[in-house]
Structure 1
């Protein structure tokens, strides 16, 4: 995978889906937004992407990492969007376009509480979802570590392009190698043989984290036909979320029907039973 090209995927897909130039969010060059039309019903979705900013004042966030500026900008824009829709009968959807190598870890970031900034982004997404905004995520590159937790993981539906360089993990292989004191080759070998350790987006789908894989698409150089296919997938996902909301169905209920998440469903059931017993005591 060409690293330079991969850093451009967020903007590439944002503008490709929107069919117009993206604009900067909250005067933060590394956070872009655009409006994406979906379906034949005139539905419009607000799309957000975190991109590289070589001129950033924070050296740990030069290459598309999710840092202080990015977190606060994403949180502020979503809160603003929720407020704009406060009197609407139907809340407009939000799309997180994801390609980021991880959280911007550094001394300055820790001193200025990057954990609080990222938590603000998470809370904004949760607030939007609870207010009735359908949340979708499209992974076009890397969904790594705290960056994905803060931007993308809160969605009702997570979609991913099935292509080289599209990956998901809680930690970069370099970080795992440093922490475990193993070589990068050893970490890579372990990741290839263990599904929970895998960076493969296909395995993320098997584990149930990714709801929909979109095959046959070039993530780095999408054609007009590729963009159309992805738009159709997003439109279907949005219709599903709208239908679930109308029928009062919680999306997490689908865990029970996923054969790869039997243990998750069992733990959830036992926790709910224990919780209900405590309420009755």
Structure 2
């Protein structure tokens, strides 16, 4: 294990755990790590967004997904699609996810961060539709537009069961401001409304997670814990190959009953027309 894990992001740590022996791709921006290799018999490309203190854009130094990251993610995923175009079995794409936010800044907005993040999300969707099993492994924060760009389009999502692992549209302080509440009041409300909650256990009740895995300390996992996570990712790859490219597996949770009802009524109206 690395001795500097306390100052490294979870995404960086788990990228190395998965791709330490893989062939590292070079030449892209330093905040996007990419490696190709074989994961338990499955060809795979591992991708992570990591902190870069020397990032050209100051708003993206802590692992945020900004202009460079969005365009680079799109390029790295599209590259895999092109390279595997004529192969009967497409390599898996594993997104290691620990992204605190998209990069907020005037330059980012002026230079079209919405286009950069859309390029990344579109590439992941295209990879899935082209037959690449796309697996998202959430090892830290999966927040806001950063998660939409890096991982949300996955066939299957797996998360570590840890208090610092969270998925949400925005941070607590921002959500409190926009709802005119204190953070304490927001947390109280979220305890009764699962989609508003920040803890990963509540998120799982929405039906979007394939698996939630206990790891005592995500920054210092045991070898047994690492093997458990790798086995879960391998299983998810096999399931994605078997069940196809759509995301129907995300439907059916009791906490998404209204979503299912709306979908059924829209389908009925569409067929009637």
Cα deviation for residue 36 of structure 1 reads: 5.2
What is aligned with 2:235? 236
CA contact (8 A) 1:137 1:152 kept: yes
CA contact (8 A) 1:101 1:143 kept: yes
Matched ranges for 1:78-227 at <5 A: 78-227=77-226
Cα deviation for residue 26 of structure 1 reads: 4.5
Cα deviation for residue 262 of structure 1 reads: 2.2
SS of residue in 2 equivalent to 1:227: helix
What is aligned with 1:18? 19
What is aligned with 2:45? 46
Deviations, residues 217-249 of structure 1 (Å, cap 9, x unaligned): 43121121111000111111111111113xxx8
What is aligned with 1:27? 28
SS of residue in 1 equivalent to 2:30: strand
Which residue among 260, 267, 273 is the counterpart of 1:272?
267
Separation of aligned partners in 1, 2:165 and 2:182: 23
Cα deviation for residue 254 of structure 1 reads: 5.8
> 1:162/1:128 Cα in 2 relative to 1: closer, same or farther (>3 Å)?
same
> 1:181/1:115 Cα in 2 relative to 1: closer, same or farther (>3 Å)?
same
SS of residue in 1 equivalent to 2:191: helix
CA contact (8 A) 1:47 1:96 kept: yes
- Give TM-score, length-normalised by structure 2: 0.92
> 1:65/1:6 Cα in 2 relative to 1: closer, same or farther (>3 Å)?
farther
CA contact (8 A) 1:25 1:31 kept: no
Cα deviation for residue 21 of structure 1 reads: 7.1
Separation of aligned partners in 2, 1:63 and 1:240: 33
- Give TM-score, length-normalised by structure 1: 0.89
Separation of aligned partners in 2, 1:7 and 1:168: 20
> Which blocks of at least 5 consecutive residues in structure 1 are unaligned?
none
> 1:121/1:164 Cα in 2 relative to 1: closer, same or farther (>3 Å)?
same
Cα deviation for residue 270 of structure 1 reads: 1.3
SS of residue in 1 equivalent to 2:107: helix
Cα deviation for residue 213 of structure 1 reads: 0.6
Separation of aligned partners in 1, 2:215 and 2:221: 10
CA contact (8 A) 2:94 2:134 kept: yes
Higher helix share: 1
SS of residue in 1 equivalent to 2:90: coil
Separation of aligned partners in 2, 1:49 and 1:102: 14
Separation of aligned partners in 2, 1:25 and 1:174: 37
> 1:178/1:96 Cα in 2 relative to 1: closer, same or farther (>3 Å)?
same
> 1:208/1:25 Cα in 2 relative to 1: closer, same or farther (>3 Å)?
farther
CA RMSD across the alignment: 2.0
Separation of aligned partners in 2, 1:272 and 1:225: 46
Separation of aligned partners in 2, 1:144 and 1:15: 22
